[in-house]
Amino acid sequence: MEALRRVLDPRSTRVRVNPLDIFRPVRGDSSELLTEVEVTLFDLGEHLETLFSDSLEAFDSETVESAGMGGASHAVLGVRLCYRIRYDIDADSGDHWVDFPARSDPAASSFKRVSRVEREALPIQFIDSAPALQLRAEGALRTLLAASDSTAFDGVLTQLDEDVRSATGDFSSAPVVTEVLDKVLNAGPKTLFGVDDADSIDFVADDGSLAALLRALQPALSLGAAGSLPIRSQGSTVQSVFSVAEAIAAAREAESGVVVIADDFGDGLDASSSEYMAALLHSTAGQSILTTRRAEVVRAFKSDELIRFVHTANGRAQYRLSSTTDKASRVTRRLVLDQLLAALSTRTVALVEGPLDAEGYGALSARLFKKTGKDKYGLAANGIRLIAPPGSDGGITRLPAMAKVALELGFRVRAIVDNDKPGQEDPAVAELADLCEQLVVLPTRTAVEAALIRGIPGEKLRKIVVSLADLGMPALPEEVEDDAIAEHLLSKKILKKHGLGPAWVEALTTPPPTARAVIEALCAGAPGRIDVLPPS
């Protein structure tokens, strides 16, 4: 996002060059080396094609490579812009600019620079952390006002300047003010500078210019009983909504599609606002490029419009779902993606068969980590998020499809599966073993309920059942002995039927050995298939 800003934002080359921006490692004479960011723009429209006519090039629309002198049957016109920066360490000075690579020759130090007017002509709107509704020259609202009716806007600015000068003049000449100012003048300035009259003193905004006045004006908003307050005092959500709203308004007013670019979109918004504003942007802007950590923002886009950037053992990589025209595949992908969005910024997803698995193992991991402080129990500490199939049923047969989508998006994928029927292992287990970097298989005739119950002494199970009575836990029949409590709870599917997985975990005084082993294996991350042994 910063690279795009350097090329496309007209303000990017105003600031002093930072030597840390130079690409590393620096070899040889660093003053002769150029750090470069190149962007190619297509679908320019008639106006921009005319403006950049001397620098247009033909590109292959499929490969996005230069079509060469001969061109191609499906060639399209575009323009390349390149931000370049160089720094002389000895002189502690640098230079940066944006030029047209098609008309530049770096070897000869000859560059055709893109003018500020040309960069400002690009229909690109950056949403940043700057305050919203600013009237100063670089504010988005100022640009919108000027674009709406520049003549009328100049008129109201002139009138504002005159009105403020008149108001400050009235203030300065008020008797209560002049009397005090005369006292100040008589305390030295009259003798030293010959300032005899308070009428010589006026009050203006900063340096007295209109620009200074506009910088001083800040938007205020009335949202409740407190009355009108500066927008910055209304909270981050209000500020962020107005910042995005300016970009949406600019996109609506533009004759050609505006490209809206925002980094960490939604960080200052609540869940519903981030999804709503992202949807508005998506439907309004010619193109929207957003980075985000919010699942709600991604829901505003199609699944194949999501790109994940990740760090791998081999360096940086990008992942994107392949396009598909099959309606059934798109529906399945959308359902799976809704679950994966919860792990949007997580390195590893651990697939489980149902919601009880996710709730149970998740609650136990949090409990063990809080109690021991050891990373070997902390899923979050190891960058792992538990993901179950959508719906209430789940099942192992749905996990391979989830794994494929997760892998296509660049997640590291692990899985936890039950082993309910000895000698009848589901074919999905072998498929998952091929897809996942780690597959944790529970002992024979063990699902998540058994993993959370078996191995705990009967007398402790009885106390837990009694403690959960207020949450809907059925009382144990009088004839059930301590050593039969576990099998009674499992045969009646008490935890699943009554939704007591997380509450059961919170009530535990002894961690269940099977479930604890599952979490330890998951956090350790040993590759391949891991068969958990039953409790002794």
Query: Closest by alpha carbon to 262, among 219, 227, 293?
Result: 293
pLDDT digits (tens), the chain, 536 positions = 889 999 999 889 988 888 888 887 656 555 556 789 999 999 888 889 999 999 999 998 777 788 765 556 678 899 999 999 988 877 778 899 999 999 999 889 899 999 988 998 898 888 877 778 888 777 778 878 887 888 898 889 889 888 888 888 888 889 998 989 888 888 888 888 888 888 888 888 777 788 888 888 888 888 877 778 888 888 888 888 888 888 888 888 776 678 999 999 988 888 899 999 999 999 888 899 999 988 899 988 888 889 999 988 888 899 998 887 777 777 777 777 888 888 888 899 999 998 889 999 999 999 999 999 999 999 999 999 999 987 766 688 889 988 998 999 999 999 999 876 666 778 889 999 999 999 999 998 888 999 999 999 999 999 999 999 998 889 999 888 998 999 999 888 888 888 888 899 999 888 999 999 999 999 999 999 999 998 87
What is d(CA 146, CA 151) in angstroms, rounded to the nearest whole number? Answer: 8
Q: How far is CA 332 from the centre of its chain?
A: 24
Strand pairing class (348-351; 384-387):
parallel
Q: Is 100 helix (H, G, I), strand (E, B) or coil?
A: coil
What is d(CA 89, CA 155) in angstroms, rounded to the nearest whole number? Answer: 49
What is d(CA 418, CA 357) in angstroms, rounded to the nearest whole number? Answer: 10
What is d(CA 335, CA 20) in angstroms, rounded to the nearest whole number? Answer: 43
Residues whose CB falls within 8 Å of the CB of residue 536, separated by 6 or more in sequence, listed in order: none
In a 13 Å sphere around the CA of 112, the CA atoms on its Cβ side amount to 12
Kindly report the pTM of this predicted structure: 0.79
Q: How many CB atoms lie within 10 A of CB 36?
A: 17
Q: Which residues are registered as beta bridge partners of 319?
A: 308
Residue 410: burial class (beta carbons within 10 Å; 0-12, 13-18, 19+) = middle
Q: Is 162 helix (H, G, I), strand (E, B) or coil?
A: helix
Amino acid (one-letter) located at 100:
F
Residues whose CB falls within 8 Å of the CB of residue 239, separated by 6 or more in sequence, listed in order: 131, 132, 231, 232, 268
> Which H helix or E strand runs over 334?
helix 327-340
> Which H helix or E strand runs over 120?
helix 116-120
Amino acid (one-letter) located at 318:
Q
- Rounded to the nearest 10°, the torsion over CA 484, 488, 490, 495 is -120
Q: From residue 321, how far is each of 40, 144, 308, 407, 509 by CA, in Å?
A: 23, 37, 10, 10, 45
- Two tokens at 439? 């597959």
Token look-up 């209000």 returns 238
Angle at the Cα of 126 from the Cα atoms of 123 and 127, rounded to 5 degrees: 140
pLDDT of residue 392: 64
- DSSP class of 353: S
What is d(CA 84, CA 114) in angstroms, rounded to the nearest whole number? Answer: 12
Are the CB atoms for 125 and 259 separated by under 8 Å?
Answer: yes
Angle at the Cα of 94 from the Cα atoms of 90 and 96, rounded to 5 degrees: 160
Query: Closest by alpha carbon to 519, among 376, 395, 372, 343?
Result: 376
